[in-house]
Amino acid sequence: MAVLKATQEAIAAAGAALRGGALVAFPTETVYGLGADASDGRAVAAIFAAKGRPRFNPLIVHVADTDGAERLGSFTDSGRQLAAAFWPGALTLVVAKQPRCPVADLATAGLATVALRVPAHPIAQALLRATDRPVAAPSANRSGHVSATRAAHVTADLGASVSIVLDGGPTPIGLESTVVDTTGPEPLILRLGGLARESLERVLSRPLALARGEPGKPASPGMLTRHYAPATKLRLDALEVRAGEALLAFGPAVPKGATATVNLSPSGDPVEAAANLFCALRELDGAGAQAIAVMPIPHAGLGEAINDRLQRAARSR
């Protein structure tokens, strides 16, 4: 594995590696992705092997622009409206696959739909243009771990299976993209994420429902309840610290007595908290505490997605 500063030269090499069937990790504005040529079934299979994914969940396919997306999927009116408003950005749209869509069946788990995203991050954009193929990329973490928001998280989790890691520093948003299914009569949020529900609702001028899959059969196959999980137990909505606990804090009033403390946002800003969340969970998970106490975080804006991830991480195994 080579960790390369994302120079023009490194991006060109990474594009060539992708075209040759290798795996490349790269930053997007949400989290780091583990990319493969989406039209190459063997390369896509290598993603599942590298992540240790127990099942073949469908992957997000990344393209440089909306034209590229329209070549792979057929968009409904609501899909077009959301793409126009939020691409490039932290939004993934599930659309019907085009009849001659070149994306490998393994990347869509054999579904008749495909999840598409146009990322805004300049390194992701440059890589997609250098590759000139759709790039399938789940978050660049081992299956079940929290997503990688730093190049160092990628190397710690994935090791030798990745040929190049493009280091673009910390990812600015820090939560995965919001996934919206636009194939039905009403768009449906499959996964809360880096684009707040309120922003989507403003553009569509109506409330958006959040899909609630039945247990064991989630609406979005990747939304298994046990996900985004550190090894240390989490205790949510903690107002005080108990003996032996580390503390994930939020806001200016922080209780004392923790074995280790990380404050997601001393000023109480949910956008800053989202950007720090996964890094903080990794850090506190490595602090050897008996449990991690998590202070309450308001649900407005990105707070909804932060609370979603924390609840998944807290579910007992």
Positions in the binding site for ligand TXA (CB under 6 A) = 28, 30-31, 33, 57-60, 92, 94, 108, 111, 113-115, 117, 137-139, 176-177, 179, 190-191, 220-223
Handedness of CA 182, 128, 151, 140 (dihedral sign): positive
Residue with smaller CB distance to ligand TXA, 178 or 232: 178
Residue with smaller CB distance to ligand TXA, 219 or 260: 219
Give the separation between CA 268 and CA 161, rounded to whole angstroms.
39
Give the separation between CA 180 and CA 94, rounded to whole angstroms.
6
Rounded to 5 degrees, φ, ψ at 17 are -60, -45
Residue whose tokens read 């993209």: 177
For the bound state, the minimum distance from the C-beta of residue 218 to ligand TXA, rounded and expressed in Å, comes to 8
Question: Does residue 51 contact residue 158 with C-beta atoms inside 8 Å?
Answer: yes
Residue of closest CB approach to ligand TXA: 222
Q: Which does 190 bind (CB under 5 to 8 A by kind): Mg ion, ligand TXA, none?
A: ligand TXA
Strands 113-117 and 91-97: antiparallel
CB atoms within 10 A of CB 273: 25
- Which of 144, 83, 148, 150 minimizes the C-alpha distance to 119? 83
SS3 34: strand
Q: Which does 149 bind (CB under 5 to 8 A by kind): ligand TXA, Mg ion, none?
A: none
Residues lying near Mg ion in the complex (CB under 5 A) are found at 139
DSSP state of 214: B
For the bound state, the minimum distance from the C-beta of residue 290 to ligand TXA, rounded and expressed in Å, comes to 29
For the bound state, the minimum distance from the C-beta of residue 154 to ligand TXA, rounded and expressed in Å, comes to 11
Residue with smaller CB distance to ligand TXA, 135 or 294: 135
For the bound state, the minimum distance from the C-beta of residue 5 to ligand TXA, rounded and expressed in Å, comes to 20
Residue with smaller CB distance to ligand TXA, 119 or 289: 119
Give the separation between CA 55 and CA 155, rounded to whole angstroms.
22
Residue with smaller CB distance to ligand TXA, 105 or 255: 105
Residue whose tokens read 């946002």: 265
Question: Does residue 32 contact residue 127 with C-beta atoms inside 8 Å?
Answer: no
For the bound state, the minimum distance from the C-beta of residue 252 to Mg ion, rounded and expressed in Å, comes to 32
Q: Which does 108 bind (CB under 5 to 8 A by kind): Mg ion, ligand TXA, none?
A: ligand TXA
Residue with smaller CB distance to ligand TXA, 213 or 255: 213
Q: Which does 177 bind (CB under 5 to 8 A by kind): Mg ion, ligand TXA, none?
A: ligand TXA
Q: Which does 258 bind (CB under 5 to 8 A by kind): Mg ion, ligand TXA, none?
A: none
* Tokens coding 311: 């609840």
For the bound state, the minimum distance from the C-beta of residue 57 to Mg ion, rounded and expressed in Å, comes to 8
Residue with smaller CB distance to ligand TXA, 121 or 293: 121
Rounded to 5 degrees, φ, ψ at 311 are -65, -40
